[in-house]
């Protein structure tokens, strides 16, 4: 497997998910996740984690490893890298990707690992940097929606924003300009997030109305975009519940409410 294809495996063959990323730092150096600066762990020589880390860096030095943990499968480590969960043998020789299902618990172990990471990243993104549409009373559910102002399903979702809030769902938008940080789409989203009335600006942009060009000293668009990459975003909208669990892409109001209610009613450790 050549280096490009090897990297594509971890990127899910998605150029968007891997765009705009510089080569990752070496172990022990600082990386930024959202607004939080972390230090990549240094793995002791001769350990499975060290062999796995080295194997991935040899596979492609651009692979950004978030974590290497014990796996439910004996002889393998669970790795979160470039927004996906993969499993690498302790000797660093074998890698496979795809959902890992615990049959007895009926639980997707790969999604559970990603949900935990997404929640950690979301906790670094200030609520005041999000564009929030809240119900009149106390919300029954809160979702975080990574959105783009140009995508059709993002616009369809926002056209029904009053119906979502009517059902007690609070929607917290994060910016994800799909075309990247050098695009016209990005500049438009910066104008929205820098507007004095972000909610109106977002609604105007999603309805195809022009939004005055603006910049501001501190825009969260870059931070939210990079967070989306780390959370494994492969398309917009990406809807997450309060636990970082993926609800899917676009869902109509009633379907989203039903899915949220089902997740809330599911026993701990269930699917």
The residue extents of the domains of the chain are 3-98, 127-265
Please answer whether residues 40 and 29 qualify as being in contact, where contact means their C-beta atoms are separated by less than 8 angstroms: yes
Asked if the 3-98 domain carries CATH number 3.10.20.30, the reply is no
d(CA 152, CA 131): 19
Please answer whether residues 158 and 254 qualify as being in contact, where contact means their C-beta atoms are separated by less than 8 angstroms: no
Indicate the Cα dihedral angle 129, 133, 136, 138, nearest 10°: -60
Please answer whether residues 141 and 242 qualify as being in contact, where contact means their C-beta atoms are separated by less than 8 angstroms: yes
**Per-residue pLDDT, 39:** 57
Distances (CA, A) of 31 to 28, 64, 115, 136, 234: 9, 10, 20, 39, 22
Work out whether the CA dihedral 42, 46, 47, 49 comes out positive or negative. Answer: positive
Q: Per the residue annotation, which of 51, 178, 230, 259 is the catalytic one?
A: 178
Predicted confidence (pLDDT) at residue 64 exceeds the cutoff of 90:
no
The percentage of the chain sitting over the pLDDT mark of 90, rounded to a whole number, equals 69
Q: What is the CATH code of the structural domain delimited by 127-265?
A: 3.40.30.10
Q: Per the residue annotation, which of 11, 18, 151, 194 is the catalytic one?
A: 151
Same fold for the domain at 3-98 and the one at 127-265? no
144, β-bridge pairs: 172, 240
Q: Give yes or no: 148 in active site.
A: yes
Q: Following DSSP, what letter does each residue of 71-138 receive, concatenated?
A: -SSTTEEEEEETTEEEEEETTS--EEES--EETTTTEEHHHHHHHHHHHHHHTTS-GGGSEEE--SSS
Q: Per the residue annotation, which of 148, 155, 194, 226 is the catalytic one?
A: 148
Please answer whether residues 199 and 170 qualify as being in contact, where contact means their C-beta atoms are separated by less than 8 angstroms: no
Q: Give yes or no: 154 in active site.
A: yes
Q: Per the residue annotation, which of 51, 77, 130, 154 is the catalytic one?
A: 154
Burial class of residue 265 (count of CB atoms within 10 Å of its CB; 0-12, 13-18, 19+): exposed
**Per-residue pLDDT, 127:** 95
Q: Are strands 141-147 and 169-175 parallel, antiparallel or unpaired?
A: parallel
Task: Check residues 270 and 176 and name the one with the higher pLDDT.
Answer: 176
With bands split at pLDDT 50, 70 and 90, how would you rate the model's confidence at 95?
A: very high
d(CA 134, CA 194): 20
**Per-residue pLDDT, 142:** 97
Q: Are strands 30-33 and 36-39 parallel, antiparallel or unpaired?
A: antiparallel
Predicted confidence (pLDDT) at residue 262 exceeds the cutoff of 60:
yes
Kindly report the pTM of this predicted structure: 0.82
pLDDT for 7-16, tens place per residue? 445 554 333 3
pLDDT for 129-147, tens place per residue? 999 999 999 999 999 999 9
With bands split at pLDDT 50, 70 and 90, how would you rate the model's confidence at 94?
A: very high
d(CA 43, CA 27): 8
Indicate the Cα dihedral angle 88, 90, 93, 97, nearest 10°: -10
């Amino acid at each position: 497997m050549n280096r490009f294809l090897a990297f594509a495996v971890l990127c899910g063959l998605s150029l968007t998910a891997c765009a705009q990323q510089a080569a990752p730092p070496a172990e022990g150096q600082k990386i930024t996740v959202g607004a939080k600066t972390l230090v990549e762990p240094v793995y002791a020589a001769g350990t499975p984690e060290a062999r796995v880390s080295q194997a991935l860096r040899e596979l492609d030095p651009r692979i950004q490893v978030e974590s290497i943990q014990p796996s439910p499968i004996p002889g393998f480590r669970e790795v979160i890298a470039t927004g996906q969960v993969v499993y690498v043998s302790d000797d660093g020789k074998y890698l496979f990707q795809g959902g890992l299902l615990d049959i007895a618990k009926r639980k997707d172990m790969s999604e559970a690992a990603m949900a935990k990471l997404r929640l950690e990243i979301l906790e670094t993104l200030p609520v005041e940097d999000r564009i929030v549409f809240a119900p009149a009373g106390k919300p029954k559910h809160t979702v975080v929606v990574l959105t783009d102002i140009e995508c059709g399903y993002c616009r369809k979702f926002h056209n029904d924003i009053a119906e979502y809030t009517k059902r007690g769902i609070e929607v917290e938008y994060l910016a994800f300009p799909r075309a990247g940080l050098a695009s016209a789409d990005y500049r438009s989203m910066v104008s929205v997030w820098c507007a004095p009335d972000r909610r109106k600006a977002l609604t105007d942009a999603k309805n195809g109305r022009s939004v005055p060009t603006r910049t501001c000293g501190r825009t969260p668009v870059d931070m939210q975009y990079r967070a989306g990459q780390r959370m494994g975003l492969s398309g917009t909208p990406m809807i997450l519940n309060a636990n970082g669990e993926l609800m899917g892409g676009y869902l109509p109001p009633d379907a989203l409410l039903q899915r949220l209610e089902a997740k809330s009613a599911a026993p701990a450790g269930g699917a």
